[in-house]
Structures are given as C-alpha cells and as structure tokens.
C-alpha cells in the first residue's frame, strides 16, 4: 500500500523529472534542428561562393553555439537527478539503460566535440570543403546524441531484448539489436527529430521576421526565411507521417495510452477518431457517465489508424482495466492478482536460496516464471491505478495535433510571400512569425507530455511502476532539489536569452559576442 506521504513524495519526484527533462529538451530541440540548418546554409555558401551565405552560416552558428552550451548544462543536471531520485530504476535497469547513455557520449558528444572546434574556429584555417564536412559531422553528431537517448526512452515505453534476473532483481540485456532497432525507437526518434527541425525553422523565422520589421539585414533575413520555410515544411510533412507511425506503435504496445489520448472508455469496432472534445471531469472508469461533454469525431478512422484495417476493435479504458472476454483482453484486475502471486513466488525463491533448499528453489523459480510477465502489476493497489491522467494526456495530444496542422500553414505563407518577394509588406505575417517559435515548442513539449504522462503509472511499461523506481528520499529533500533546480534553470534561461538577444541585436555583421 502507498500511503499519502509516499504519494506526495512520488508526485514531487515526478515533478522534478518533468522539470529537468523539459528544460533540457527546450535546448536540445533547438540545437538539433539548427545543426542541420547550418549544414544547409554552409552548403549553399560552398556551392555559390556568396559572402551572404557565409554571413548567414556564421550568424546562426553563433546562436547554435549558445543553445548547445545550455543543452550541455541542462543535460548534466538531468543526469544528476536521474541518479539521485530514481536510484532503484537505475539499479534495476542500469544494465540496459547504461548502454545507450554511454553510446550517446561516445558516438554523439565525442563526435561533435571532435569537429565542433573546426566548425567554429576553422573558417580561415581549413579549406571550405573541410569546414563544410565538419559542419555536417556536427549535425550528424547532434542527431546521434538524440538518437541514443530516445533509444533508452523507447525501451522504457516498449521493453524488448531483455530478461529479468531473479537472483539480482535486475533487468539484463539479451539482444542489443532488438533494443536498438525496436519499431518504437525508430518511430519515436524520427518523430522527435522532425519536430525539432520544426522548432529550429520557426526560430529562424522569428529572428528573421524581427529583422524585416526593423528594416535590417533584409537580404540576409529573406534568404534565411526561404531555407527555413522549405526545411520546416518538409519537416512538418515528415512529422505528420512519423506521428501516424508512432500512434500505430502505441496501438500495438501501449493500448492504454491510445485509449486515453482519445478519451475512449468503452472499446469499439470501427471506432471513431476524436478531433476535438471537452472531457467530462466527473467520468471515471467503470461508471455509466458519458466521457465527453462535447466532441467532434470522424467515424471509423481510429480503427483504421490503429489497426491499418477498418472495422477492427479498438480497446478502451474499461476493457483494459476490467477485461473483455469477448475480445480475450485480460483486465488489470486479473493482472494484479497474477502479479502479486509472482512477487510471493519470488520471495519464496529468495527464502529457499537462503535456506539452501535446492528442491524448493527450483520449484519456486519454475512457478515464478509462469507469472513473471505480470510482476509489475503486483505493486499496484487497484486496477484503476493503471489508468494515466486522462485529462492532461488527452488535451496535450490534441494541442499537439492542432499545432501540427497549423505549423505547416505558417511555413507555406512565409515561403509563398518570400518567393513572391512580398514578405516585406506583410507586417501581420512578420509579427505572427515573431511568436511562432513558441507554437513549435508547445507542440514539441505537448508530445513529450503525451509520451511520458500517457505511460503512467509505469517507468518501464507493464514491468516497473514509478512507485518502485524512485529513491528512498524524504519529501523535503525532493522539494528542496526541485526549487534548487528551478532556480538554476531560471538563471540559465535568463542568461541564455540575454546572450541570444544581444547577438541578435548585433546582427550578422559581427559573428562574435563582444
């Protein structure tokens, strides 16, 4: 049983993780996207020999460097709290999580570090092609760094390629390639990377729009907008495609998350896709109340997207909580029963080992294997505990989708008016461009809320609940850490924004901060 004090501690631990992860992602998204834009900008410079493209590259490279530095700082803090606040998770899953985290440093950060100095300080010291090669390698390194982190996260969403060691109470890697090439890992990385490209493209639009509104650096701003709009538009199309692939992966591996983001309580054949809706705040699993106060739904589309075939059944929250015999769905109630048996058998196995009773040890282990897959459910108190926060997940998902449809329209408008050379006269569009970067960030962060909140109560899906993964700390300690990190992040954000604003005010003529 989890008492009130433990629940409070758990919520503060979750809040601290959310704070550090989201602050880190703000800089990661911009750094990842800008690295690829830099590669394209410099490619145009090398191909054309135009000094304008060199100025463009050097200017955005300076802003990239500021963002990259801040991403390193937030990354250190993120790893620190991961080890201090989630030590049980680090112990039980360290054999698996440690590999991609180490690979991120070796194949990502080391690769970037090796060419970072050449990219920043080698303009007059190496040839154009050598410098361009360094810039492309930095872009590749930034993607590799993000890829390995997302591989670790994807394994937590869909644990594969591992086995539980009852002697050590740890999950151990069995098949690295299965973890690396998991469909969830590939789709999740592609979706996160493409959304980061959108954020960076919108950032370029925002800064360039400010220059045009001020009547400064107009040729510089126009060329930057042109490349960013094309890059952002292509990224938007890819983001939509990868989002559909990710939703299909959810249907296969995380059906509860899919049910929650659609507010689907009772499963349906030919289930409709909810485009927009207002949830009923008084609705709970198992009651007869309507899930929605208002909704707009396309009939049959959810079944098609979830199953790649129309008319098939999509389980709802009630089916997954209480079970559905017609569609052979075992409910969480039954899984909790099986999980508690698994934990009892594991305890018997440990006791028999201590007593050096070989017969009882073998028997307990054999019986444990029959119930092992439901072991994580044994830590839950009731079936409803396996339902994530419906409101936060549902609304975050739909905010992400709405902005995902709006953002490519923004790129289209900028691309059209830049191509027609009318962008200078569209003051309303330029003013909207100033704030458009916030829309990209909101969409990207909303996607992460869906991914992480929609997985609750699990830190490792169906295997390890968050309540077991946390460290044995006091609530006061976690609260102190939360406000300390909040202060540090606030100072870092203010410093980063001030440095960026100073560089933007200086403009592309002076590529270094003075």
Has residue 109 got a pLDDT over 90?
no
Give the whole-angstrom CA distance, residue 407 versus residue 391. 24
Strands (E), 152-214: 162-165, 170-173
* pTM score: 0.91
pLDDT at 469: 87
3-class SS at 65?
helix
Q: Are the C-beta atoms of 104 and 75 separated by less than 8 Å?
A: no
Q: Name the nearest CA neighbour of 291 among 392, 390, 402, 396.
A: 390
Q: Is 329 left (phi over 0), alpha (psi -120 to 50) or beta?
A: beta
Q: Name the nearest CA neighbour of 505 among 514, 61, 230.
A: 514
Condensed to tens digits (0 to 9), the pLDDT of residues 344-399 reads 999 998 888 888 888 888 898 899 899 989 999 999 989 999 999 999 999 999 99
pLDDT at 513: 41
Q: What is the mean pLDDT of residues 428-450?
A: 94
Q: Is 2 left (phi over 0), alpha (psi -120 to 50) or beta?
A: beta
Condensed to tens digits (0 to 9), the pLDDT of residues 459-498 reads 999 999 998 888 888 888 888 988 988 999 999 999 999 9
Give the whole-angstrom CA distance, residue 203 versus residue 434. 8
Q: What is the band of 13 on the pLDDT scale with cuts at 50, 70, 90?
A: confident
Q: What is the band of 124 on the pLDDT scale with cuts at 50, 70, 90?
A: confident
Has residue 73 got a pLDDT over 60?
yes
Give the whole-angstrom CA distance, residue 194 versus residue 220. 25
Give the whole-angstrom CA distance, residue 15 versus residue 475. 12
Task: Tell me the percentage of the chain whose pLDDT exceeds 90.
Answer: 56
The whole-chain average pLDDT of the chain stands at 89
Has residue 94 got a pLDDT over 90?
no
Strand 458-460 with 464-465, pairing: antiparallel
Residue 298 pairs in a beta bridge with: 273
Q: Which two tokens stand for residue 160?
A: 């594969």
Has residue 512 got a pLDDT over 70?
no
Q: Name the nearest CA neighbour of 376 among 336, 344, 333, 346.
A: 336
**How many CA atoms lie less than 13 Å away from 439 in the CB half-sphere?**
21
Residue with tokens 């009630």: 318
Q: Are the C-beta atoms of 97 and 155 separated by less than 8 Å?
A: yes
Q: Could you tell me which residues come within 8 angstroms of residue 495 by beta carbon, excluding any fewer than 6 positions away?
A: none
Q: What is the mean pLDDT of residues 435-453?
A: 93
Give the whole-angstrom CA distance, residue 445 versus residue 21. 10
**Could you give the C-alpha distances from 328 to 158, 322, 325, 386, 488, in angstroms and in order?**
21, 12, 5, 19, 51
Q: Are the C-beta atoms of 265 and 291 separated by less than 8 Å?
A: yes
Has residue 210 got a pLDDT over 90?
yes
Residue with tokens 């050449």: 118
Give the whole-angstrom CA distance, residue 174 versus residue 101. 17
Number of H helices, E strands in the chain: 17, 8
Task: Give me the helix-helix angle, 128-157 and 110-121, nearest 10°.
Answer: 150
Q: What is the mean pLDDT of residues 231-243?
A: 92
3-state percent helix, strand, coil for the chain, nearest multiple of 5: 75, 5, 20
Phi, psi of 381 (to 5 degrees): -85, -40
Residue 335 parent element (H or E): helix 332-354
């Amino acid at each position: 049983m989890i008492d009130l004090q433990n629940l409070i501690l758990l919520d503060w631990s979750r809040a601290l993780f959310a704070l550090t992860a989201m602050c880190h992602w703000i800089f990661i998204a911009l750094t990842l996207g800008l690295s690829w834009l830099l590669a394209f900008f410099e490619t145009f410079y090398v191909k054309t020999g135009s000094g304008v493209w060199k100025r463009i590259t050097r200017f955005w490279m300076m802003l990239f460097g500021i963002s990259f530095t801040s991403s390193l700082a937030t990354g250190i803090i993120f790893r620190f709290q991961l080890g201090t606040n989630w030590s049980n998770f680090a112990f039980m899953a360290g054999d698996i999580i440690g590999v991609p985290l180490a690979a991120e440093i070796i194949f990502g950060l080391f690769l970037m570090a090796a060419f970072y100095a050449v990219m920043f300080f080698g303009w007059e010291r190496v040839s154009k092609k050598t410098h361009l090669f360094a810039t492309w390698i930095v872009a590749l390194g930034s993607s590799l760094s993000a890829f390995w982190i997302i591989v670790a996260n994807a394994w937590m969403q869909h644990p594969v390629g591992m086995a539980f060691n009852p002697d050590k109470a740890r999950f151990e890697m069995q098949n690295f390639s299965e973890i690396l090439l998991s469909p969830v890992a590939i789709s999740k990385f592609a979706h996160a990377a493409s959304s980061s490209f959108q954020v960076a493209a919108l950032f370029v639009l925002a800064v360039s729009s400010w220059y045009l509104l001020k009547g400064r650096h107009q040729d510089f701003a126009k060329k930057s907008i042109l490349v960013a709009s094309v890059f952002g538009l292509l990224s938007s199309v890819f983001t939509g495609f990868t989002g559909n692939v990710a939703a299909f992966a959810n249907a296969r591996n995380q059906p509860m998350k899919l049910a929650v983001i659609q507010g689907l309580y009772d499963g349906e054949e030919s289930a409709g896709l909810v485009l927009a809706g207002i949830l009923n705040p008084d609705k709970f699993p198992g009651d007869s109340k309507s899930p929605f106060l208002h909704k707009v739904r396309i009939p049959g589309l959810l079944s098609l997207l979830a199953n790649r075939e129309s008319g098939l059944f999509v389980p709802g929250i009630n089916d997954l909580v209480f079970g559905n015999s017609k569609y052979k769905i075992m409910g969480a109630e039954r899984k909790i029963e099986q999980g508690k048996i698994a934990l009892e058998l594991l305890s018997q196995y440990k006791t028999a080992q201590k007593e050096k009773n070989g017969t009882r040890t073998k028997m307990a282990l054999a019986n444990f294997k029959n119930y092992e897959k439901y072991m994580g459910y044994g830590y839950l108190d009731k079936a409803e505990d396996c339902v994530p926060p419906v409101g936060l997940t549902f609304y975050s998902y739909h905010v992400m989708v709405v902005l995902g449809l709006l953002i490519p329209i923004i790129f289209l408008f900028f691309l059209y008016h830049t191509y027609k050379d009318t962008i200078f006269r569209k003051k309303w569009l330029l003013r909207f461009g100033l704030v458009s970067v916030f829309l990209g960030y909101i969409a990207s962060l909303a996607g992460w809320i869906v991914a992480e909140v929609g997985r609750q109560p699990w830190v490792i899906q169906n295997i390890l609940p968050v309540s077991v993964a946390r460290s044995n700390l006091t609530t006061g300690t976690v609260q102190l850490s939360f406000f300390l990190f909040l202060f540090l992040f606030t100072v870092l954000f203010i410093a980063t924004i001030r440095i960026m604003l100073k560089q933007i005010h200086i403009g592309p003529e002076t590529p270094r901060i003075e």
